[in-house]
């Protein structure tokens, strides 16, 4: 698969449709073997869906967005976002694909060939897994105020101290891409200065995990992560020390797109269940899907999902073409999460009381899609960005 070299506005090109269709067909082959019932069983047993993950690797799907010379399948964020959407559309969303997809971007773009082969190549087959850590308990959305600090050692390496929170899949990851300060926030002239990216082996002494009691139906759990004197080798640093802010935002833009893809897929999954139920369920002698009060609600949700999909595809094309895709990625995540919430809400309303019966598998979707209006970044901050950087309004925070 090749990365697009030009952006075609809001028009979906034939080449784009072909790439997405190829990914979707391959994903259906995997989700047929490991359907929604499989992921629900993994959630119940509190275990990572290793069989699904390895099969994605066998099909070459985990290698999407990684150049072929490094063991990947080529393509860009467009393809791996399409994969995330296809998995969610089958009711098999995986947060690990989001964190893996974003964590690999800075390494592929700014790492040395040796670092790419060491940290990225094994993820293409599923041999290793990578998570991402940026959020801190006291800094929250204001990542520039983070206090996790990496200091140089006499041997040329680094010592990492601090903590991160809401880290998806930390228990199951082999490596973690960590955003840390190499110069304290109080000692820099510009808040974007003094930030660096490191890849650390999760088996390194000094790392402690505490599982959070997050009530979201995913196989990946959330963790509070402590770093206490964690020793890192020199090659753990990605790019140049103190200049990691740009690299961080490249990863975060891809994360927004991957999250948007997951949201859109889950929304369509919920909507398909609502449509099927509304055709079968009859009250007063006719299917409830014929009632405009329900039909219009589902139709509106479908229109929102399709609009979000177009924005996501366009933003991914821009990102892969090397353009500044920040505004479009933010809009895609905003619209995708809102559309998913509208779709699941419509599905709940269509199912009535049965929507809250876990056996119907509708209410189980609600926490995850509602979370997507908050994470990986809350929609209010996305609106702030659009207001300031797109509309040119005064900074609001």
Q: Do domains 14-129 and 246-390 have the same CATH topology?
A: no
**Where are the domains positioned within the chain?**
14-129, 132-243, 246-390
What CATH architecture is 14-129? Answer: Orthogonal Bundle (1.10)
pTM over 0.95: no
Give the model's pLDDT for residue 166: 96
Which CATH number among 1.10.8.50, 2.40.110.10, 3.40.50.10490, 3.40.640.10 corresponds to the domain 132-243? 2.40.110.10
Residue 174 in this model has a pLDDT that exceeds 90: yes
- pLDDT-based confidence at 140, cuts 50/70/90? confident
Q: Model confidence over 348-373: pLDDT tens digits? A: 999 999 999 999 999 999 999 999 99
Residue 339 in this model has a pLDDT that exceeds 90: yes
Residue 253 in this model has a pLDDT that exceeds 50: yes
Q: Model confidence over 219-240: pLDDT tens digits? A: 999 999 999 999 999 999 999 9
> What is the assigned CATH class of domain 246-390?
mainly alpha
The secondary structure of the chain, three-state, reads CCCCCCCCCCCCCHHHHHHHHHHHHHHHHHHHHCCHHHHHHHHHHCCCCHHHHHHHHHCCCCCECCCHHHCCCECCHHHHHHHHHHHHHCCCCCHHHHHHHHHHHHHHHHCCHHHHHHHHHHHHHCCCCEEEECCCCCCCCCHHHCCCEEEECCCCCEEEEEEEEEEECHHHCCEEEEEEECCCHHHCCCCCCCEEEEEEECCCCCEEEEECCCCCCCCCCEEEEEEEEEEECHHHEECCCCECHHHHHHHHHHHHHHHHHHHHHHHHHHHHHHHHHHHHCEECCEEHHHCHHHHHHHHHHHHHHHHHHHHHHHHHHHHHCCCCCHHHHHHHHHHHHHHHHHHHHHHHHHHHHHHHCHHHCCCCCHHHHHHCCCCCCCHHHHHHHHHHHHCCCCCCC
Give the model's pLDDT for residue 195: 97
What is the average per-residue pLDDT within 373-380?
96
């Amino acid at each position: 698969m090749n990365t697009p070299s030009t952006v075609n506005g809001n028009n979906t090109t034939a080449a784009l449709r072909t790439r997405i269709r190829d990914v979707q067909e391959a994903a259906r082959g995997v989700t047929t073997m490991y359907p929604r019932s499989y992921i629900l069983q993994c959630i119940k047993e509190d275990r990572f869906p290793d069989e699904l993950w390895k099969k994605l690797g066998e099909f070459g799907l985990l290698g999407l967005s990684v150049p072929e010379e490094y063991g990947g399948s080529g393509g860009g964020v467009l393809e791996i976002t399409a994969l995330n959407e296809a998995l969610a559309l089958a009711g098999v969303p995986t947060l690990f694909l989001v964190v893996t997809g974003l964590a690999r971007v800075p390494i592929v773009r700014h790492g040395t060939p040796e670092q790419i082969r060491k940290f990225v190549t094994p993820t293409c087959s599923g041999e290793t897994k990578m998570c991402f850590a940026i959020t801190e308990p006291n800094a929250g959305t204001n990542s520039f105020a983070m206090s996790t600090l990496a200091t140089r050692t006499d041997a040329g390496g680094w010592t990492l101290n601090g903590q991160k929170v809401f880290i998806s899949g930390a228990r199951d990851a082999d490596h973690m891409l960590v955003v840390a300060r190499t110069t304290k926030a109080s000692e820099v002239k510009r808040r974007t200065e003094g930030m660096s990216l490191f890849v650390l082996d999760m088996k390194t002494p000094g790392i402690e995990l505490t599982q959070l009691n997050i009530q979201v139906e995913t196989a990946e759990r959330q963790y509070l992560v402590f770093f206490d004197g964690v020793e890192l080798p020199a090659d753990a640093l990605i790019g140049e020390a103190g200049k990691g802010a740009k690299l961080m935002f490249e990863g975060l833009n891809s994360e927004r797109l991957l999250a948007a893809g997951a949201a859109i897929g889950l929304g369509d999954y919920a909507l398909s269940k609502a449509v099927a139920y509304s055709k079968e369920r009859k009250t007063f002698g006719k299917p409830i899907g014929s009632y405009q009060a329900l039909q219009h609600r589902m139709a509106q949700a479908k229109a929102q999902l399709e609009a979000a999909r177009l924005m996501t595809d366009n933003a991914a094309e821009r990102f892969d073409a090397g353009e500044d895709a920040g505004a479009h990625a933010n809009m895609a995540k905003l619209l995708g999460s809102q559309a998913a919430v509208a779709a699941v809400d419509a599905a709940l309303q269509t199912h009535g009381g049965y929507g809250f019966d876990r056996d119907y598998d509708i209410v189980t979707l609600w926490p995850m899609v509602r979370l997507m209006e908050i994470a990986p970044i809350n929609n209010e901050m996305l609106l702030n960005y659009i207001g300031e950087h797109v509309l040119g309004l005064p900074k609001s925070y």
